[in-house]
Amino acid sequence: MPPHSVHFAAKRCAGCDAFRGWMPKPDNPDNVEKRHQLQEMLKELLENEATTQWECGFLRNLLEQKKLSPKQQACLNRISARLMGGVK
């Protein structure tokens, strides 16, 4: 697809060339590493005995996210600051 397209590529049947759907854009290696670091931090916060029940639920929900909203990031920063003395 052209660089300005929202899609990476079209999936097409090898036999008849019928359109089968859209392919997602491949992940940027830098983003993959940032997500890995985020996952590790979330696991560390979840293991902290001082984490409240609400915070545990919030953090478990973030484990499922690919990208955090600004509000989610701000809340995570507050939790991290309280439990770990700041964001890593």
Q: What is the pLDDT of residue 16?
A: 95
> How many angstroms separate the CA atoms of 2 and 66, rounded?
25
Cα separation, 75 vs 12, in Å, equals 42
**Per-residue pLDDT at 68 exceeds 70:** yes
Residue type, 13: C
Asked whether the predicted pLDDT for residue 86 surpasses 60, the reply is: no
CA distance 43 to 41: 5
Number of residues in the chain: 88
Mean pLDDT for the chain overall = 87
- ∠ Cα 20 26 29 (to 5°): 170
Question: What is the pTM (predicted TM-score) of this model?
Answer: 0.64
